Amino acid sequence: MSQCRVCHSEYKPFINFGPQPIANGFIPEDKIGDEYFFEMQVGHCENCHMVQLIDQPSREQMFHGEYPFFSSLSKHMQIHFKEFAETIERRFLNHNPNPFVVEIGCNDGILLKNFAEKNIKHLGIEPSENVAKVAEEKGIRVTTRFFDYELADETRDKFGPADAILSANVICHIPYIESIFSGVEKLLAEKGVFAYEDPYLGDIIEKTSYDQIYDEHVFFFSALSVSYLANKFNLELIDVEPQATHGGSMRYYIARKGAYSPAQHVEQLIEKEKEMGLNKAETYLQFKKNVEKSKQDLVSLLEKIKKEGKRVVGYGATSKSTTVLNYCGIDRNLIEFISDTTPLKQGKLSPGKHIPIRSYDEFKENYPDYALLFAWNHRKEIMEKEEEFSKSYKWITYVPEVQIF
């Protein structure tokens, strides 16, 4: 039994993915042998309905000066974050002539750039020095530290209360969630908003997108669990907005209790989640069965293709792919290499299964028979870019089910 990080009730795992490496731990050839593995299991707390990893590696093992994920590499994400900034400005900053915006985990500045360009007072909090440096080069003010209660307190003393605290694909990474929420409560202005988005549990269950489960993602949020969490810190979930990013995300708007009246969407989403069974143990047992089927289907397809003597290359060395490769036991035998546009990943090996990561040029110059779409969350952007490949060759996806297209 483990203790829920939110409500401290006891809970048990419903699925075990076996030993998993650091999902973004791309390694050079000469470091094989020194890799860290942890037992990756997920559980559902029957009291507050938070779905969470049982164990997680330490934050310093995941976020450091060589963090290989740069948000701005995707053009669609740049547009998405510009719209996020505009929405916040329109809905929450108008009442203050000199508003202050804080972002938790600003990475290379993809979101804050939109505020910095308008000379809006801002602060990015980003512990991974290499990506933080890229943000600073864009004229963004960054503190290279981990956000927590202590930093929130210092930030309020130094800069004043925040009208908006924003975050994307970060809060679900942080196990010390009580320190985050009490920090937000400390830093937030009276009418301030805490708006954050993360991959949505409802989509993961619906699409069997188990690859969203990896070391960095300790929480899989829903309106059910987030409303419980907010309430515990004298905050309130005032609105929710589904997002198409990362294969299905949800944006949660949280404010001080009573500062705004909650939109009807919140209650509606909670009702829908209950209808989907996100509050029931059976739902998670069914998910486990779906995951096992997905594994069998993918492995048999790749083995069949190999027997036919055809080539398969992975497209996008995503952090998500680490779970798929290690859980399904897929290595170089079945996938020749993975093509990725991130220079820091190229020339290295995939975590755990050691498939070589090569540049995009190597894909373009010698098309394989099949491309296994690990970056399925960027499908639209990639299909636009790869019309030529798609004319003569095939794609493989595993979300929502294993399929050739």
Residues that bind ligand SAH (CB under 6 A): 59, 63, 67, 69, 71, 104-105, 107, 110, 125-128, 131, 146-147, 168-170, 173-174
Q: What is the DSSP string of 224-260?
A: HHHHHHHHHTTEEEEEEEEE-GGGSEEEEEEEETTTS
Residue of 260, 351, 345 lying closest to 68 (CA atoms): 345
How many residues does this entry show for the chain?
A: 405
- Kindly tell me which of 128 and 182 has the beta carbon lying closer to ligand SAH: 128
Residue 263 binds which one of Zn ion, ligand SAH, ligand TMP, none, with CB within 5 to 8 A depending on kind?
A: none
Residue 73 binds which one of Zn ion, ligand SAH, ligand TMP, none, with CB within 5 to 8 A depending on kind?
A: ligand TMP
- Kindly tell me which of 17 and 374 has the beta carbon lying closer to ligand TMP: 374
Interaction between residue 212 and ligand TMP (CB under 6 A):
no
Smallest separation (angstroms) from ligand SAH to the CB of 170 = 4
**Could you count the other beta carbons within 10 Å of the beta carbon of residue 25?**
23
- Kindly tell me which of 182 and 321 has the beta carbon lying closer to ligand TMP: 321
Residue of 235, 284, 283, 218 lying closest to 59 (CA atoms): 218
Interaction between residue 51 and Zn ion (CB under 5 A):
no
Interaction between residue 372 and ligand TMP (CB under 6 A):
no
Using a 10 angstrom Cβ sphere, with 0-12 exposed, 13-18 middle and 19 or more buried, the burial of residue 232 is middle
Q: At what angle do helices 264-276 and 223-232 cross, to 10 degrees?
A: 120
**Could you count the other beta carbons within 10 Å of the beta carbon of residue 186?**
18
Alpha-carbon separation of residue 248 from 157, 201, 205, 400 (angstroms): 37, 9, 11, 12
Distance, CA of 156 to CA of 181 (rounded, Å): 15
What sign for the dihedral angle of Cα 85, 87, 88, 94? Answer: positive
Residue 358 binds which one of ligand SAH, Zn ion, ligand TMP, none, with CB within 5 to 8 A depending on kind?
A: none
Interaction between residue 224 and Zn ion (CB under 5 A):
no
Phi, psi for 343 (deg, rounded to 5): -55, -40
Interaction between residue 377 and ligand TMP (CB under 6 A):
yes
User: What part of residues 46-75 is at the interface with ligand TMP (CB under 6 A)?
Assistant: 73-74
DSSP one-letter code for 161: -
Which span sits near ligand TMP by CB under 6 A: 158-166, 194-202, 256-264, 341-349? 341-349
Alpha-carbon separation of residue 352 from 4, 19, 36, 306 (angstroms): 29, 9, 9, 21
Smallest separation (angstroms) from ligand SAH to the CB of 171 = 9
Which span sits near ligand TMP by CB under 6 A: 188-196, 216-224, 300-308, 315-323? 315-323
Residue of 198, 210, 220 lying closest to 322 (CA atoms): 210
Interaction between residue 324 and ligand TMP (CB under 6 A):
no
Residue 126 binds which one of ligand SAH, ligand TMP, Zn ion, none, with CB within 5 to 8 A depending on kind?
A: ligand SAH
State which residue has the least CB distance to ligand TMP: 316
DSSP one-letter code for 261: P
Residue 259 binds which one of ligand TMP, Zn ion, ligand SAH, none, with CB within 5 to 8 A depending on kind?
A: none
Alpha-carbon separation of residue 38 from 48, 53, 63, 318, 386 (angstroms): 26, 11, 16, 19, 36
Smallest separation (angstroms) from ligand SAH to the CB of 270 = 25
Interaction between residue 237 and Zn ion (CB under 5 A):
no
Interaction between residue 4 and Zn ion (CB under 5 A):
yes
Smallest separation (angstroms) from Zn ion to the CB of 3 = 9
- Kindly tell me which of 169 and 322 has the beta carbon lying closer to ligand SAH: 169
- Residues near ligand TMP (CB under 6 A) are 73-74, 316-320, 340-342, 345, 375, 377-378, 381-382, 385
Contact residues: Zn ion, CB under 5 A: 4, 6-7, 9, 45, 47-48, 50
